[in-house]
Amino acid sequence: MNTAAYLGRLEAVKWLHANRTEGCTSNAMHYSARLGRFEMVKWLYLNRPESHTSEAIVRAIRSGHLRIAYWLARKYPKYSIHCYWFDIADKRLVSSSNSLEVLLFLRAVYPYVVTANFTRLLRSDYSNEKSLMHRAIVSWLDDTFPCAEEVEP
């Protein structure tokens, strides 16, 4: 079932669910969230409770699938994501084409993740970058967190 979910084969996942009991772990949800397979995520949520973890939310965010991340966050209010999952040294957070949207999402839905240290490190990493996306991120950080650059590590 994990492999069928990874491959995006919802009908195969449904068949396996109806005809077998083994083969589904939280990885099915993790793959689906990371790969942006919203219908699969919704089906797994309704039918496979063993797939419910906060890691699916993290993978959706890291992959830029914010609609899925928001839906999961609303369905899993008891699951909080941890700041260490969004370490700036791990470039997966801001390497997607919608990096600014990811940061805005984190600030709106998980504001405790966007700490002063987080913003300082992000500003440091991207202040010398030339791309329009990186300049937009630095500009947003400057406007939103003007004092964050003064925070000691």
The predicted-structure confidence for 48-60, as pLDDT tens digits, reads as follows 888 888 889 988 9
The number of domains in the chain is 2
65 and 88 co-located in one domain = no
**Average pLDDT score over residue span 109-116:** 82
46 within 8 A of 14, measured Cβ to Cβ = no
21: domain CATH number is 1.25.40.20
> What gap in Å lies between CA 102 and CA 125, rounded to an integer?
16
- How high is the pLDDT of residue 93? 59
Tell whether the torsion through CA atoms of 42, 47, 48 and 53 is positive or negative.
positive
Q: Which residue from 5, 37, 1 is spatially nearest to 19, judged by alpha carbons?
A: 1
Domain residue limits at 64:
1-81
pTM: 0.81
Q: Do 12 and 28 fall within a single domain?
A: yes
How far is the C-alpha of 53 from the C-alpha of 58, rounded, in Å? 9
Claim to verify: residue 68 and residue 10 sit in the same structural domain: yes
Within this chain, do residues 55 and 67 fall inside the same structural domain, yes or no? yes
Q: Are residues 91 and 132 in the same domain?
A: yes
Residues 60 and 88 in one domain: no
Domain co-membership, 120 together with 134: yes
Residue where a domain terminates, one of 81, 105, 139: 81
22 or 109: which leads in pLDDT: 109
* Residues 138, 96 within the same domain: yes
70 lies in the same domain as 92:
no
As given in the structure block, the two tokens for residue 76 are: 């899993």
Decide if 93 contacts 86 (C-beta within 8 A). yes
